[in-house]
Amino acid sequence: MHTSNRILQGIPASPGIVIGRARVLSDRGNIQEHFRLLYSEEEQTQEVARFLAAVDQAQEDLTRLKEDMEEEFPEHSHLFELHRLLLKDQMLFDEPLRLIRENRYNAEWALFRSFEKVKDLFRRIEDPYIKGRMADVESVYRRLMGNLAGQVPLFPASAPSSDPLIIVARDLSPAEATQMASSPVVGFVTERGTRTSHTAILAQAMEVPAVVGLDRATKEINPGDEIILDGLLGRLILNPDAETLEKFRRRRREFDLFKAEVARFSSFPAKTQDNHPTRVLANIELPEEVQLALKSGADGVGLYRTEFLYLRLRHLPSEEELFQDYRLVVEAMAPREVTIRTLDIGGDKFLSHLQYPKEMNPALGLRAIRFCLKEQGIFRSQLKAILRASAWGRVRVMFPLISSVQEIREARRLLGEVQEELRRQGQPFDDNMPVGAMIEVPAAVTLAGILAWEADFFSIGTNDLIQYALAIDRGNKQVADLYQPLHPAVLRMIQQVVEAGAKAGIPVAVCGEMAGDPLHLPILLGLGVGELSMNHMAIPMVKKIIRMFTLEEARRMAREVMDMVTVEEINRYAAQEMRRRFPEVFRFGSALAGTAQP
């Protein structure tokens, strides 16, 4: 007998509330990586042919999916082009072929061993957004393994259903998620995944509610169970009673009305009721995301992460490859401004000839500006590409993880040398391209009053700053609850940086997750932050909230919290104010902005 109203908690990945019957894919993703040694050249030839046939089939399937996606969701069709590129990646194509030919491995084992090497590479990456791209590599790996094993489609034609279905699986690829558009599937829940994975992003675009990171979901949920999937809070209610069903149907109607209301604000200027403007910008990592940013009403790009091109290619990207990538973004956003962050990973993360040992603590190691100043050839190439792109629109460049005056001076010196090279070559660029410093470590906060005279703008990376300031790894479940954006120390650091920027006459932005959280918004504006850069999903919500209060009200809130000494009282005060002033925003705002916590 099923227990009524049993609650399971995961991570909210795509907002919305749906009700349906569980379709449990318990064996999906259980790939058998069996080992077999090849004894003859004929067997080797056959295995090479099997592997190449699996790759060809994957290319054909992804091409078809890309064409289908271009019709309904053109801004997301790039996901399948990315997967096609990964099919020819050195580690997923060349390496398995080498292992078949040289080590006499069967195709499945060669692919498995190659994939393990890629996983080891991604384990060393700290940035959650780049780390999240491992899901794309794994999706391609699973597709190839499925082709080798003759695996059936996720939604076979022989299994129709008239009832709304909620898929329960270990994991889902973006390709599998797209099949939901022509099926009775109304939502999904997975044991793995993050809210920044491409599958989650695609679910958001398709408006399919989703919950991810729910451990043992395929074991805890039975086929046919009735489920309420609450993508706002990342929660499932199994076999709800009549009262609970009615409660969530009412909540769903309220959320749908609120969502429609918020969407209107994407085209409105972000001005407080007393006409104080704030720039609301988008964080992106791929050129194709520009259309999502524009559709959401972004005033520009406040953070263009440039690391993925270095991780995607089999070689170090050339200046020309980087330039073409940046130019696409700059042209598409024109006349809006694009802020390009220089490389923010270390040498041990490259799939290239660079030989750096694995670090015990990469977050505190050779990464970001430290790596760029050491590998000046790589840095110069990127700086040239950024400068050349500045001829095609408004561009700012910013250096990550600045911790000393010497670092930004040395970076600017190299930038000046590169500018001279481009002048001699007759290459056009913006002579007055603004240069910024990311404030992500306590040392930079302490030196903010000095750094402000060396930079044209500041951008506070609150994700890293909170971790470094509070000595917390938020990926560690033992201490994750101590990751508190409204901690008094964090707020005082933000205040110190804003005041240093104001004194030097330079703008200060916040580009971490804190920028898109409705709970934090009035406090940040009250402290004097003038630019907010966030996930595109959060932009309409943030604009709506900004237009609902005056700057003086925000300053009053900021003064109140700066007199408080514990994070508990600050969180309580902020929540009470939001509930009192913006009850609908408090109920649904964080979920719609993609910042809700389970």
| Rounded Cα distance, 80 and 88, in Å | 13
Confirm if 513 and 262 have CB atoms less than 8 A apart.
no
Q: Are strands 210-212 and 337-341 parallel, antiparallel or unpaired?
A: unpaired
Helix (H) or strand (E) holding 53: helix 41-72
| Cα-to-chain-centroid distance, residue 464 | 15
Question: What CA–CA distance (Å, rounded) separates 442 from 341?
Answer: 20
Cα–Cα nearest to 414, from 453, 369, 449: 369
CB 267 within 8 A of CB 297: yes
Tell me whether residue 372 is one of the annotated catalytic residues.
Answer: no
Q: Would you give the distance in Å from CA 363 to the centre of its chain?
A: 18
- The secondary structure of 305-318 as a DSSP string is --HHHHHHSSSPPP
Residue 103 Ramachandran class (φ > 0 left, ψ -120 to 50 alpha, else beta) = alpha
CB–CB of 528/551 below 8 Å? no
The secondary structure of residue 151, as a DSSP letter, is P
DSSP string, 529-567: --EEEE-GGGHHHHHHHHTTS-HHHHHHHHHHHHT---H
Say if CB 28 and CB 84 are below 8 A apart: no
| Residue 440, annotated as binding a ligand | yes
What distance in Å separates the CA atoms of residue 286 and residue 196, rounded to the nearest whole number? 13
Annotated ligand binding at 474? The verdict is yes
Q: What is the DSSP letter of 400?
A: S
Return the amino acid letter for 498.
V
Active-site residue (options: 76, 487, 511, 520): 511
Instruction: Tell whether 305 is in a known binding site.
Output: yes
Where would I find the beta strands (DSSP E) of 358-478? Answer: 395-399, 435-439, 457-460
Token digits for 489? 């120390």
Would you call 511 a catalytic residue per the annotation?
yes
Residue 524 near residue 549 (C-beta atoms within 8 A): no
Judge whether 237 and 230 are in contact, CB under 8 Å.
yes
Q: Is 191 annotated as a binding residue?
A: no
Residue in 46, 30, 57 with CA at minimum distance from that of residue 106: 46
Q: How far is Cα 591 from Cα 578, in angstroms, rounded to an integer?
A: 14
Query: What DSSP character marks residue 437?
Result: E
Q: Which helix (H) or strand (E) holds 8?
A: strand 6-9
Q: Which of 198, 487, 520, 536 is catalytic?
A: 198
Phi, psi of 398 (to 5 degrees): -140, 145
Q: Are 353 and 346 in contact (CB under 8 A)?
A: no
What amino acid positions are annotated as catalytic residues? 198, 511
- Residues at the binding site are 305, 341, 440, 463-464, 474
- Residues at the binding site for Mg(2+) are 440, 464
